[in-house]
Amino acid sequence: MENQLWGEIPEPRNTEWDKVVPKEIGKLVILSAIKMEPPKVKQPQPDEHADNNITVGPEHSTMEENVLHTIKLIQHARKVDDLIRISNSMIQDEEPSVEVKECPPMPQAPAQKIKQEETFPSYKSREESSFTLGEPIILPELGREVTKEILYKSVATLCAHAGYDSGMQSSLLVLTDVAEDFFKKFTRLLRYAVDREELYGNSGFPDAMERVFHEMGLGSVTRLHDFYQSRVLQYRDQWQEKCQKLVQQYEALLPSIKREPDELVRFKTEMESEEDIPEIHFPAMADGDCVDELQSSLEPGFQMLHSLEQEVAIKYGTV
């Protein structure tokens, strides 16, 4: 009896397949019966379940109010700076303009919202919300295109907050891709950190967010508060102060711009007449020597005048 391995299919003894069909042809028939499929190319496919026409609420897409106020201050400062430059050129060219533009009003600061009100010493009231009551917060499920548009809007807002007034769309798209890659890496590490804490317990950090901040090289979570204070609030106050100085500078130039043309011409004529007057310098003399020094300085002049009179008299025979 032949040794048969496990999993082998025994050949039927009654059929003589090799006699009917040659072995080479049999292999070709078997291979042709198998339907060959090419390897599937793994490419990112659009999410069929994502709704691209979903309406995102303002609480999920609105930019921070202090950032928007700073952008308005930057635009206001540029407008006033342009008015100051035009005014200086008008004053230098002495060409008054009939239409003098008034200074645009300062942007109004957003109303400050007090999150907590103190009702009793060392006690702060807590407003009831779905989060404090333990109710689940339903967030909209966004597709990739919607999230990319929100991220693109955020990147453009941050560029305007940094002081850029224009930019190419390709540059904004590159920055958007960089921000998307950063958030993907951040959320992936956050997922790993949460799963690691569930499996192995506390890892020495206060929470998973603190761990991911250190792994990403961002330092502590408290640096977010420091960044917001310096780069958002103090930056807003700096532009507020700069706008006030520019407004004061432009208001100081308004009286010179609003002069009538006759006043400017009269002022110019007076300046030219004052410039045409020659300066005469007299020698400084003491009180006692005033008469003697003045007489000695005038004697050469009298002698020249006397000699000229004699020459004229001799020439015309009047002597």
Nearest in space to 190 (alpha carbons), one of 205, 178, 177, 179: 205
Highest mean pLDDT among 128-137, 161-170, 283-292 belongs to: 161-170
Alpha helices in 94-143 (DSSP H): none
Q: Which of 71-75, 109-113, 118-122, 131-135 has the lowest mean pLDDT?
A: 118-122
Q: Which of 61-65, 188-192, 194-198, 311-315 has the lowest mean pLDDT?
A: 311-315
Domain spans, the chain: 63-88+141-258
Alpha carbon distance 91, 252 (integer Å): 13
3-state SS of 23-64 is: HHHHHHHHHHHCCCCCCCCCCCCCCCCCCCCCCCCHHHHCCC
What is this structure's pTM?
Answer: 0.60
107's enclosing H/E stretch is none
Q: Which residues of 59-85 are buried (b: 16+ CB within 10 A; e: fewer)?
A: eeeeeeebbbbbbebbebbeebeebbe
pLDDT given at position 4: 72
The answer on pLDDT for 49 being more than 70 is: no
Radius of gyration for the alpha carbons in the chain, expressed in angstroms and rounded: 46
Highest mean pLDDT among 106-115, 134-143, 214-223 belongs to: 214-223
Instruction: Give the pLDDT confidence of 141-162 residue by residue, as tens digits.
Output: 778 888 898 899 999 999 999 9
Highest mean pLDDT among 70-84, 254-268, 305-319 belongs to: 70-84
Confidence of residue 202 (pLDDT cuts 50, 70, 90): confident
CB 172 within 8 A of CB 154: no
Residues linked to residue 123 through DSSP beta bridges, in sequence order = 120
Supply the mean pLDDT for the chain: 75
When comparing pLDDT for 89 and 29, which is higher?
89
Alpha helices in 121-164 (DSSP H): 144-162
Show the tokens assigned to 80: 């006033």
